[in-house]
Structure 1
Amino acid sequence: MARSHLTLAALATSAVAGADIVGSRPLSSSTTHRFDSAVVTLRSGEEYAVRVPVNSDAEAEQSRDLVALRALTAGVRTRLPFHIPDQLGQAPIGETRAVVYDFIQGRPASLADVGGEGSASDSIGRAIAAIHSLPTSVVSDAGLPSHTASQIALSSRKLSDRAAASGRVPKELLTRWSLALEDSALWQFQPTVVNGSLGPESFLVIDDQVMGVLGWQELKVGDPALDLFWLNSAARSESADRVFAAYEHALARPADRQLRKRARLYAELEIARWLLHGVDSRDESIIADAEGMLDALRTTVQNDLLNPLSTDTGQIMAVEDVEAMLDRTPLPGRSTTSVGGESKAHANRIAED
Structure 2
Amino acid sequence: MHPSPSPSDATPSPAPHAPGNEHAGTPAPLAWKSPLALAALATVALPGLDVWHAFPIRSADGYQAAVAVDSESRQWVVRLPRTAAAGATLEAEVAFLQRLEPAVDSGELPFVVPRVAGSAPLIGGGRAIVYPRVTGNQLRLEAMRPGPGAAASLGRAIAALHSLPLTLVEACGLPVYSAQQHRERRLAELDEAAGTGAIPAPLLRRWESALENVALWRFRPVITHSQLSADSIIMAHGQVSGIVDWDAVQGGDPAEDLAWLVAGAPADCVESIVEAYHMRVTESADRHLLDRATFASEFALAQWLLHGVRTHNSEVVDDARVMIADLVDALEGSDEFDVSQASVTRPAGRERVVGDTGSLPRVDRSAAGRLPTGAIAETGGIPRLRPVSATGDSDEEGGDNAQTVDDPWATLTDLVIPDYSHRRPPQPYADTPTVAFRQVSSSPRSADSPKNTSQ
Aligned 8 A contact 1:9 1:21 in 2: no
Q: Please state how far the C-alpha of 1:68 moved relative to its aligned partner.
A: 2.4
Q: Pick from 80, 92, 95: which aligns with 1:67? A: 95
Matched, 1:154 2:184: yes
Which segment drifts farther, 118-127 or 260-269? 118-127
Give the partner amino acid of 2:214: S
Which segment drifts farther, 300-309 or 263-272? 300-309
Matched, 1:327 2:350: no
For residues 230 and 314 of structure 1, the distance between their equivalents in structure 2, rounded to whole angstroms, comes to: 25
- Let me know the Cα RMSD of the aligned residues: 3.5
Which residue of structure 1 lines up, in the alignment, with residue 77 of structure 2?
A: 49
For residues 147 and 34 of structure 2, the distance between their equivalents in structure 1, rounded to whole angstroms, comes to: 40
For residues 241 and 95 of structure 2, the distance between their equivalents in structure 1, rounded to whole angstroms, comes to: 22
Matched, 1:281 2:311: yes
For residues 325 and 278 of structure 1, the distance between their equivalents in structure 2, rounded to whole angstroms, comes to: 22
Give the partner amino acid of 1:284: S
Q: Pick from 64, 70, 76: which aligns with 1:35? A: 64
Q: Please state how far the C-alpha of 1:74 moved relative to its aligned partner.
A: 2.5
**Structure 1 pair 231–304 and aligned structure 2 pair: CA distance change class (3 A):** farther
Aligned 8 A contact 2:89 2:247 in 1: yes
SS at structure 2 position matched to 1:204 = strand
For residues 268 and 71 of structure 1, the distance between their equivalents in structure 2, rounded to whole angstroms, comes to: 33
Which segment drifts farther, 180-189 or 302-311? 302-311
**Structure 1 pair 250–35 and aligned structure 2 pair: CA distance change class (3 A):** same
Matched, 1:295 2:337: no
Which residue of structure 2 lines up, in the alignment, with residue 349 of structure 1?
A: none
Q: Pick from 134, 138, 152: which aligns with 1:122? A: 152
Unaligned runs of 5+ in 1: 317-321, 330-335, 345-353
**Structure 1 pair 325–190 and aligned structure 2 pair: CA distance change class (3 A):** closer
If each structure's helix is expressed as a fraction of its own residues, which one has the higher value?
A: 1
Aligned 8 A contact 2:59 2:65 in 1: no
Give the partner amino acid of 2:384: E
Which segment drifts farther, 155-164 or 139-148? 139-148
For residues 84 and 326 of structure 2, the distance between their equivalents in structure 1, rounded to whole angstroms, comes to: 34
For residues 186 and 123 of structure 1, the distance between their equivalents in structure 2, rounded to whole angstroms, comes to: 27
Which segment drifts farther, 211-220 or 262-271? 211-220
Query: What's the TM-score once normalised by structure 2's chain length?
Result: 0.64
Percent pairwise identity: 32
SS at structure 1 position matched to 2:306 = helix
For residues 134 and 35 of structure 2, the distance between their equivalents in structure 1, rounded to whole angstroms, comes to: 18
Matched, 1:228 2:250: no
Which segment drifts farther, 8-17 or 122-131? 8-17
Partner deviation per Cα, 1:63-90 (whole Å, 9 max, x = no partner)? 4422322343525753211111111111
Give the partner amino acid of 2:254: P
**Structure 1 pair 183–301 and aligned structure 2 pair: CA distance change class (3 A):** same
Q: Please state how far the C-alpha of 1:60 moved relative to its aligned partner.
A: 5.4
Which residue of structure 1 lines up, in the alignment, with residue 433 of structure 2?
A: none
Which residue of structure 2 lines up, in the alignment, with residue 339 of structure 1?
A: 381
For residues 115 and 224 of structure 2, the distance between their equivalents in structure 1, rounded to whole angstroms, comes to: 19
Matched, 1:13 2:43: yes
Query: What pairs with 1:197-236 in structure 2 (closer than 5 Å)?
Result: 197-236=227-266
Aligned 8 A contact 2:287 2:341 in 1: no
For residues 88 and 385 of structure 2, the distance between their equivalents in structure 1, rounded to whole angstroms, comes to: 17
Paired residues, what number? 332
**Structure 1 pair 305–176 and aligned structure 2 pair: CA distance change class (3 A):** closer
Matched, 1:176 2:206: yes
Partner deviation per Cα, 1:192-227 (whole Å, 9 max, x = no partner)? 121222112111111211111112222222110011
Q: Pick from 81, 98, 101: which aligns with 2:110? A: 81
Partner deviation per Cα, 1:265-285 (whole Å, 9 max, x = no partner)? 111111111112222333333
Give the partner amino acid of 1:342: R
Partner deviation per Cα, 1:141-166 (whole Å, 9 max, x = no partner)? 33322221111111111111111122
**Structure 1 pair 149–191 and aligned structure 2 pair: CA distance change class (3 A):** same
For residues 336 and 311 of structure 2, the distance between their equivalents in structure 1, rounded to whole angstroms, comes to: 37
Which segment drifts farther, 85-94 or 182-191? 85-94
Aligned 8 A contact 1:196 1:219 in 2: yes
Query: What's the TM-score once normalised by structure 1's chain length?
Result: 0.80
Which segment drifts farther, 177-186 or 215-224? 215-224
Aligned 8 A contact 1:108 1:201 in 2: yes
Which residue of structure 2 lines up, in the alignment, with residue 350 of structure 1?
A: none
**Structure 1 pair 115–31 and aligned structure 2 pair: CA distance change class (3 A):** farther
Query: What pairs with 1:107-146 in structure 2 (closer than 5 Å)?
Result: 107-116=137-146, 120-146=150-176
Q: Who wins on radius of gyration, i.e. which is larger?
A: 2
**Structure 1 pair 343–225 and aligned structure 2 pair: CA distance change class (3 A):** farther
For residues 198 and 338 of structure 1, the distance between their equivalents in structure 2, rounded to whole angstroms, comes to: 16
For residues 223 and 385 of structure 2, the distance between their equivalents in structure 1, rounded to whole angstroms, comes to: 21
Which residue of structure 2 lines up, in the alignment, with residue 185 of structure 1?
A: 215
